[in-house]
């Protein structure tokens, strides 16, 4: 009887190891970090027969771990949740580089309850393993709440095998992501640098007039400003894309946030002689989110509506609550965008041909908006009509 029991468990274990191999092949086939981490947590939950699984990535700059992906939460807001390295279970796994099994998490003083409370998930048992590549620990993979019985050493072995494959795939995806971004950045930086260089050379010519000198200096100033904006925005975007931006999750009151954003933009709106119409109900349900980042979205849309408007035109900002979502839109009476360009608007560095003549920009603002909105589980849409104007609408799910 005994031997057949262990035969069964041996064949189950073998089947599971095959599963790990298959998963590893699948993991190697994607370089998209979000997709990859999502696959890893699902594989971890299924392999260890757990209710849920999560990945925490290590942020060396701040010595923190933060949630990146999880099977039981579709809300990407979880990404912002930070777990301290000191005194937490995940932190211990990270620093000792050893797996940990905790049968009764509630009784463990290291358990970091705040997370469970904020996402309304009660962790009962836990199996965590470090994600190690070469010499580096990139994070921790945790399986939570074993469905039947307790976590076993076999579960631990399997998860460790999965983690070592996963860690390599994560590192590759990150490297790929960075090299891709850096290549794009370098490409974009070349144009303003070339303009500055040319202007500086021309300035040395004795024959140029005062008027020409003034124009060249303006070019240098303008391009320097653009480079500076580009680096700030680029850093924002790189952080958002790598999942290293912590989101400070709180209850956000949208009306207040939008009013503050319009207030900030007032002087620019007045400068351009634009009319501002605000239709924001005073009482809107709150949503869970990062207030500063959501405000950044509103500011960016308002700034575009100002920059790309016609003098004497109008900007309307409105908000409404639906059953499952809050939405707000920013409408302008600018020249509009041709349908063939609408699909590319949210791509990094994309500017509609001719935009340069209308206003300065980097082409990064809308990519950042999209990332932020999607990180809140929402979406951003654009509609435009040539000669009439453009409207951007942001939809955010109610928590």
Q: Does position 355 bind ligand ADP by CB under 6 A?
A: yes
Please pick, from the candidates 293, 351, 371, 395, the single residue that binds ligand ADP as defined by CB under 6 A: 351
Please pick, from the candidates 304, 329, 333, 375, the single residue that binds ligand ADP as defined by CB under 6 A: 304
How many chain residues bind ligand ADP (CB under 6 A)?
19
Please pick, from the candidates 47, 48, 390, 396, the single residue that binds ligand ADP as defined by CB under 6 A: 390
90-96, Cβ contacts within 8 angstroms, sequence gap of 24 or more: 90/56, 90/65, 90/128, 90/140, 90/142, 91/65, 93/128, 93/129, 93/130, 93/140, 94/58, 94/65, 94/130, 94/137, 94/139, 94/140
CB distance 155 to 48 below 8 Å: yes
Please pick, from the candidates 337, 372, 373, 394, the single residue that binds ligand ADP as defined by CB under 6 A: 337
Closest distance between ligand ADP and the C-beta of residue 390, in Å? 4
Nearer to ligand ADP among residue 351 and residue 376 (C-beta): 351
Nearer to ligand ADP among residue 125 and residue 384 (C-beta): 384
Nearer to ligand ADP among residue 214 and residue 268 (C-beta): 268
Query: What distance in Å separates the CA atoms of residue 374 and residue 380, rounded to the nearest whole number?
Result: 8
Q: Smallest Cα–Cα separation from 44: which of 171, 162, 126?
A: 162
Of the listed pieces 14-22, 27-35, 256-264, 360-368, which binds ligand ADP according to CB under 6 A?
360-368
Please pick, from the candidates 245, 362, 372, 396, the single residue that binds ligand ADP as defined by CB under 6 A: 362
Q: Does position 352 bind ligand ADP by CB under 6 A?
A: yes
Of the listed pieces 178-186, 194-202, 253-261, 330-338, which binds ligand ADP according to CB under 6 A?
330-338
Please pick, from the candidates 298, 305, 319, 372, the single residue that binds ligand ADP as defined by CB under 6 A: 305
The dihedral built from the CA positions of residue 83, 26, 22 and 161, taken in this order, carries a sign that is negative
Q: Which two tokens stand for residue 316?
A: 């309307």
Q: Does position 365 bind ligand ADP by CB under 6 A?
A: yes
CB distance 267 to 341 below 8 Å: no
Q: Where are the alpha helices (DSSP H) in 277-364?
A: 291-307, 339-342, 355-358
Q: Does position 372 bind ligand ADP by CB under 6 A?
A: no
Q: Where are the alpha helices (DSSP H) in 204-347?
A: 210-242, 254-271, 291-307, 339-342
Q: Does position 306 bind ligand ADP by CB under 6 A?
A: no
Closest distance between ligand ADP and the C-beta of residue 218, in Å? 19
Nearer to ligand ADP among residue 68 and residue 395 (C-beta): 395
CB distance 126 to 105 below 8 Å: yes
Considering all CA atoms of the chain, what is the largest pairwise distance in Å, rounded to the nearest integer? Answer: 101
Helix axes 33-47, 153-203, angle to 10 degrees: 170
Q: Does position 308 bind ligand ADP by CB under 6 A?
A: yes
Taking the CB of residue 274, how many other CB atoms lie within 10 A of it?
20
Q: Does position 373 bind ligand ADP by CB under 6 A?
A: no
Q: Does position 80 bind ligand ADP by CB under 6 A?
A: no
Contacts with ligand ADP, residue ranges (CB under 6 A):
300, 304-305, 308, 332, 334, 337, 345, 350-352, 355, 361-366, 390
């Amino acid at each position: 009887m005994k031997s057949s029991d262990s035969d069964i468990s041996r064949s189950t274990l073998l089947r599971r190891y095959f599963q790990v191999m298959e998963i590893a092949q699948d993991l190697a086939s994607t370089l998209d970090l979000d997709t990859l981490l999502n696959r890893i947590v699902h594989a971890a939950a299924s392999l260890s027969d757990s209710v849920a699984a999560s990945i925490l990535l290590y942020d060396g700059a701040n010595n923190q771990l933060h949630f990146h992906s999880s099977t039981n939460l579709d809300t990407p807001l979880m990404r912002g949740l930070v777990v301290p390295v000191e005194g937490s279970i995940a932190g211990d796994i990270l620093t000792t580089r050893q797996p940990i099994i905790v049968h009764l998490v509630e009784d463990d003083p290291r358990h970091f309850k705040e997370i469970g409370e904020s996402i309304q998930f009660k962790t009962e048992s836990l199996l965590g393993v470090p994600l190690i590549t070469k010499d580096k620990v990139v994070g921790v993979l945790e399986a939570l709440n074993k469905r039947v019985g307790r976590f076993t050493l076999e579960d631990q072995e399997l998860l460790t095998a999965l983690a070592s494959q996963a860690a390599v795939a994560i590192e590759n995806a990150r490297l790929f992501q960075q090299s891709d971004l850096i290549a794009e950045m370098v490409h974009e930086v070349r144009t303003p640098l070339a303009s500055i260089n040319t202007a500086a050379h021309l300035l040395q010519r004795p024959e140029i007039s005062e008027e020409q000198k003034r124009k060249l200096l303006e070019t240098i100033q303008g391009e320097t400003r653009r480079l500076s904006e580009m680096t700030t925005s680029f850093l924002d975007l790189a952080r958002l894309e790598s999942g290293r931006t912590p989101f400070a999750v709180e209850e956000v009151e949208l009306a207040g946030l939008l009013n503050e954003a319009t207030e900030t933009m007032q002087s620019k709106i007045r400068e351009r002689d634009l009319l501002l119409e605000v239709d924001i109900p005073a009482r809107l349900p709150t949503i869970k989110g990062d207030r500063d980042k959501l405000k950044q979205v509103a500011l960016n849309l308002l700034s575009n509506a100002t920059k790309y408007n016609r003098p004497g035109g109008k900007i309307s900002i409105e908000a409404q609550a639906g059953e499952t979502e809050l939405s707000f839109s920013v409408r302008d009476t600018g020249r509009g965008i041709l349908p063939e360009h609408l699909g590319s608007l949210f791509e990094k560095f994309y500017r509609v041909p001719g935009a340069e003549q209308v206003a300065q920009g980097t082409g990064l603002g809308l990519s950042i908006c999209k990332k932020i909105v999607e990180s809140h589980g929402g979406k951003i849409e654009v509609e435009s009509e040539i000669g009439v104007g453009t409207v951007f609408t942001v939809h955010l799910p109610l928590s």
